[in-house]
Amino acid sequence: MPNNDYIIEIKDVTKIYKADGVETIALNGINLKLKRGDFLAITGRSGSGKSTLMHIIGLLDKPTSGVYFLNGTDVSKFDEDKLALLRNKSLGFVFQSFNLLQRTTAVENVCLPAVYAGIPENERMQKARVLLDELGLLEQSNKKPNQMSGGQQQRVAIARALINDPSIILADEPTGNLDTKSGKDVMKILKSLNKNGKTIILITHEQDIAMQAKKILHLEDGKIN
C-alpha cells in the first residue's frame, strides 16, 4: 500500500526500450522513496539511466513495469491529459539548456505554465513579476532570452518552474551550461527553495554539485548502486 508520508514512492520500476528488435534495459528494478522536503541528487555517467529515471519521475515517460505513487496516488496508469495536468500543477522543470521560448519576454516565459493552468492574465503576470523580483530579475522582465546572460536565463527558468507553486522541482543538470559563479547562484536558489519546503530532485554528473544535496542516489547500468 502507498504510504502517504512519501511524496514520491517508486516500486520496482523497470524501463526497457525496444528499437529494431534490440531491447535496451534503461532502468532495472528501481526503488525510491522521497519525503516532502527532501533534496535528492541523482548521479551517474551518461547512459546510466539517470535521464530515464528523471523522465519517469517527471511524468514525461511511463515505466515498462513497476508502480509510481505521486502524493500517494498511483500515476502509472494515468492517460496523457491527466499526466499533463499533474506536470503542470505538481512539478516544476529546470533544464540544462534553459529551454526558454525565443522572441518571448522573460515575464511571458515565466507565465507559460500558468497559461496552461488557466490562470487569468493579470493574475499570472503579477505572480511572474513577484517571482522575477525575488530572483533579482525584475529589470529583465521585458527582455528576451537572447538579451540575457546564461545565469539570468536559468533564473528565469526557475521562476517559470515555480509559478504554479509545485511541491516538486526537477532540475536536469541545471548548472551544466553555466559558469562557476552562476552555477553557485542557481544551487543557492535551489537550496533556499528546499529550505522553504520544496522537494528538489537534481540530476548531475558533477560530484561537488551532488554533495550539496541531502541524499545522493548513484545509478549504474540502470541500477541503484
Partner 1 sequence: MDIKELLKLSLRAITANKLRSFLTTLGIVIGVFSIIVLVSIGSGINSYVTTQISSLGSNIFEVLPGGEGNVFGGILSANLKLQDSENVQRNLTGIGKVTPLLQQAAIIKYKNIKIKDAFVGGVSYQYPEVVTSLKMKYGIFFTKSQQLSGAPTVVLGYKINEKFFKNQNSVGNKIYVGEKQYRIVGVADKTGTALGTFDRDNIVYIPVEQAQSQFGTSYIRQIVVSANSKELMPLAIKRVEATLLKRLTKDDFSIETAESISETITNVTNVLSLALGGIAAISLLVGGIGVANIMLVSVTERTREIGLRKALGAKRSDILKQFLLESVLISVTGGLIGIALGIAASLIIARLLVSTVTPWSVFIAFGFSVLVGVIFGMAPAIRASKLNPIEALRYE
Q: From the list 12, 74, 121, 139, which residue makes contact with partner 1 (rule: CB under 8 A)?
A: 121
- By CB under 8 A, tell whether 69 contacts partner 1: no
Closest by alpha carbon to 200, among 57, 96, 46, 15? Answer: 57
Nearer to partner 1, 145 or 212 (CB): 145
Nearer to partner 1, 61 or 134 (CB): 61
Convert 151-187 to b/e letters by CB count within 10 Å (16 or more is b). Answer: bbbbbbbbbbbbbbebbbbbbbbbbbbbeeebbebbb
- By CB under 8 A, tell whether 211 contacts partner 1: no
- By CB under 8 A, tell whether 103 contacts partner 1: yes
Of 67-75, 87-95, 127-135, 142-150, the window that binds partner 1 (rule: CB under 8 A) is 87-95
The rounded distance, in Å, linking the Cα atoms of 219 and 225 is 6
Shortest separation between residue 93's beta carbon and partner 1, angstroms: 6
Q: Are 24 and 78 in contact (CB under 8 A)?
A: no
Of 108-116, 127-135, 173-181, 217-225, the window that binds partner 1 (rule: CB under 8 A) is 108-116
Q: From the list 84, 139, 195, 225, which residue makes contact with partner 1 (rule: CB under 8 A)?
A: 84
Nearer to partner 1, 61 or 206 (CB): 61
* Footprint of partner 1 (CB under 8 A): 55, 58, 60-61, 80-81, 84-85, 87-89, 93, 95, 99, 101, 103-104, 112-113, 115-118, 121, 160, 164
